[in-house]
Structure 1
Amino acid sequence: MPETAAHLLSLDFPDDFTPGARSAVRTCLRIQPDEKITLITDRVTERIAASIARQLQDLGCRWNGFVLEDLAPRPLTDMPAAVLEDMETSDVSIFAVQVQQNELRSRMQMTDIVNRRHMRHAHMVNITAEIMCDGMRADYDKVDRLSQQVLERVRRARRIRATTAAGTDITSDMNPDYKWFKTSGIISSEKWGNLPGGECFTSPGEVNGTFVVDGVVGDWLCARYGLLAATPLAIHIEQNRIVRCSSSNQELERDFWAYTHTDENSDRVGEFAIGTNIGVHKVIGNILQDEKFPGIHIAFGNPYGEHTGAPWRSGTHIDVVGLGFNIWLQYATGETDQIMREGRFLISA
């Protein structure tokens, strides 16, 4: 057995991790005994990875494990070659890592292989013990049923309007040439997904209005600023671009503005998504789980064009999450369909 795999299997971990690890391996990824898996982790996350490794071992599949700090200094400039080479012969990959600033390039190198080879890939970025005992215990078959109902509706929508009591009021005109995807936690070769899962997303045609972030912001800013209920960030959007933003936390405002002005498309709305994980009942200050919280989240930067069909690109991607949404879909017929009121779906799972 390779040294890293043996190391992970030797680690103790809380019994509370086991249901979430089993859900990841057996329910979400549907891993089969005859498949090969690449498991990627880091020192901070290795006990969570150990719980996943135990499930892989019990299943009897072939797998290789990698701890990033054993291969390259952090933050990563590039994904280590050993990881990428192993992925070239795997059916499934699992990435359970605490990300560091400016590591997006290395993750994109990994997902480029996933996309090219149509691998099933679980993206467990910034996974924590809390998430293993919370969002990873959701009933993903139920989340999938709700997500499918949302998907069928939004694919027909020509316009989506969303409001919140905190001041969000945005309208998104949808581009019929861009594809919607469901990443409900049940991961297929069509599109890799985050775990915990639970969202339907696309790239919008054009978003206008104000989005008030009273939940969380993504990437490394999430760990720095946490929950934003006391210091919300108001983002004003015109023709899909940020025109200004404001917060009583001026450091947050400056960091967010700098992040979303890294390249020519960093300030452009690249993702428009509806969180569908009804097993998640509150935001916790971790974007991996919080973007699945029922409601709207959008992201500025990379539009995942290889999936959505959006023809532009960015080297950054940052999600923003709001709370307590009202959501209306408008169809080409002129019919309007409200699917959420004050944060609660009006669709049965």
Structure 2
Amino acid sequence: MTPAARVLDELVALETNERLLIVHDRQNEPVARAFEQVALERRARVERIDAEAVALRPWGRCPQEVLAALPGADVTLFAATYEEGEYDARHAFVTLATANRARHVHIVGTSRRAFVNSMLASSTRVFDLIGALRDAVRPHSKIQVRSQVGTSLEVEMAPNLRWFANGSTIRSGQWLNVPYGALVTSPAQVTGTYVVDASMGGGYGSRLGSLSSRPIRLTFDGGRVQRVECRDAAVKAYVEKFIGEAMGHDRVGLLSLGANIGIAAPLGELIHDENMPGVHLALGENFAARTGALWTSHGQLSFAASDTDVDLDGEPLIRHGRYVRLV
């Protein structure tokens, strides 16, 4: 109830008599009911739909009953487990919700534990830190990342590259993934070694969970992966397969500075772990329209590391996964 209240009060500012539409699957029913109860306490009008009761998974398209309920909703919330082949259904929901000027909260592939854990810090504190980070980075900033498990990475920025926030108050026609809390960009150069010991994205990554017992070691030169190492041969083959699938899959498309200071440790869930204080990477897609990157790629594989030390332009920023300045 407390994290649900934090979302509705701090992220979407739900008001009396506004209409909230909650769409969920069976596994997320407890989370959905918490949002329902909080909204009713705020005297909002609530409609809750169990999408699995109206259409079998995987949803190749968004169920018509769900789409028909969207018009007139002031706030929408979609909470479901991650299923391969459901991107189009989720995309259709978000597109129609935002087209109808709803304020949308998206909770996909996030366990109850990760949802609760990611909402321990107030959104104001997280947003203030994201703003302070944005003010601190420069067009030619350099970021150094180290960890006890072997990360030793140098990142360089360039004047054409822009940072954007994964975390802000949601306004009409906008949406936000929860968990949230990072400042994101596309780097100019990445050199060195990055050890992924928290989690990996995608359906396979979500099934693997924590990578602490089988970390992935990525070696970069000029922003491109030169070598993949992992004691688990299946994990190594999966990453190498992604890298070879398409143009740009060997390049670091996104770099994020996790800024959710309520997250103290990884849970093995990428969407949670990538907001943890530290530096996290994604190969492939770089959201060029937002970052200003001069190349493009389709498809993305994201990685999160834990307990990192980060220096920004030679000054300590994070030590052992906790911010030592700007907070």
TM-score class normalised by the smaller sequence: 0.7 to 0.9
Evaluate the alpha carbon distance shift between residue 68 and residue 256 of structure 1 in structure 2; reply closer, same or farther with a 3 A threshold. Answer: farther
Evaluate the alpha carbon distance shift between residue 257 and residue 72 of structure 1 in structure 2; reply closer, same or farther with a 3 A threshold. Answer: farther
2:2 alignment partner in structure 1 = 19
User: Does structure 1 residue 228 correspond to structure 2 residue 206?
Assistant: no
1:169 alignment partner in structure 2 = 152
SS at 1:20's partner residue? helix
- Give the deviation of 1:33 after TM superposition: 3.0
Amino acid aligned to 1:319: S
Evaluate the alpha carbon distance shift between residue 242 and residue 64 of structure 1 in structure 2; reply closer, same or farther with a 3 A threshold. Answer: farther
Normalization by structure 2: what TM-score? 0.86
- Give the deviation of 1:297 after TM superposition: 0.8
Q: Deviations over 1:146-189 (max 9, x none)?
A: 22212211255533222222222222232433331223464446
2:111 alignment partner in structure 1 = 128
Amino acid aligned to 2:147: T
SS at 1:242's partner residue? strand
Normalization by structure 1: what TM-score? 0.81
Q: Single out whichever of 166-175 and 286-295 deviates more from structure 2.
A: 166-175
Q: Deviations over 1:290-331 (max 9, x none)?
A: 11111111112332345334465555333211122222223x
User: Does structure 1 residue 340 correspond to structure 2 residue 318?
Assistant: yes
2:49 alignment partner in structure 1 = 66
Identity %: 26
1:99 alignment partner in structure 2 = 82
2:128 alignment partner in structure 1 = 145
SS at 1:208's partner residue? strand
**Conserved 8 A contact 1:155-1:180:** no
In 1: Cα distance, 2:242 partner to 2:153 partner: 22
**Conserved 8 A contact 1:120-1:189:** yes
In 1: Cα distance, 2:92 partner to 2:246 partner: 18
- Give the deviation of 1:270 after TM superposition: 2.2
**Conserved 8 A contact 2:157-2:189:** yes
In 2: Cα distance, 1:190 partner to 1:337 partner: 39
2:285 alignment partner in structure 1 = 302
SS at 1:134's partner residue? helix
**Conserved 8 A contact 2:257-2:278:** yes
- Give the deviation of 1:79 after TM superposition: 3.3
- Give the deviation of 1:207 after TM superposition: 2.5
Q: Which 5+ residue runs of structure 1 have no aligned equivalent?
A: 1-17, 331-335
Evaluate the alpha carbon distance shift between residue 55 and residue 229 of structure 1 in structure 2; reply closer, same or farther with a 3 A threshold. Answer: same
Superposition CA RMSD, Å: 2.8
1:75 alignment partner in structure 2 = 58
In 2: Cα distance, 1:40 partner to 1:306 partner: 30
In 1: Cα distance, 2:63 partner to 2:243 partner: 27
Q: Which 5+ residue runs of structure 2 have no aligned equivalent?
A: none
**Conserved 8 A contact 1:104-1:316:** no
Evaluate the alpha carbon distance shift between residue 327 and residue 261 of structure 1 in structure 2; reply closer, same or farther with a 3 A threshold. Answer: same
Amino acid aligned to 2:266: V
Q: Deviations over 1:103-129 (max 9, x none)?
A: 334434444556767753322122323
Q: Single out whichever of 185-194 and 45-54 deviates more from structure 2.
A: 185-194
**Conserved 8 A contact 2:100-2:173:** no
Amino acid aligned to 2:200: V
**Conserved 8 A contact 1:271-1:303:** yes
Count of aligned pairs between the two proteins: 327
Q: Deviations over 1:270-289 (max 9, x none)?
A: 22101111211111112222
In 2: Cα distance, 1:146 partner to 1:274 partner: 11
Q: What does residue range 123-272 of structure 1 map to in structure 2 within 5 Å?
A: 123-154=106-137, 156-184=139-167, 186-188=169-171, 192-272=175-255
Amino acid aligned to 1:57: L
Amino acid aligned to 2:202: D
Amino acid aligned to 1:93: T
2:270 alignment partner in structure 1 = 287
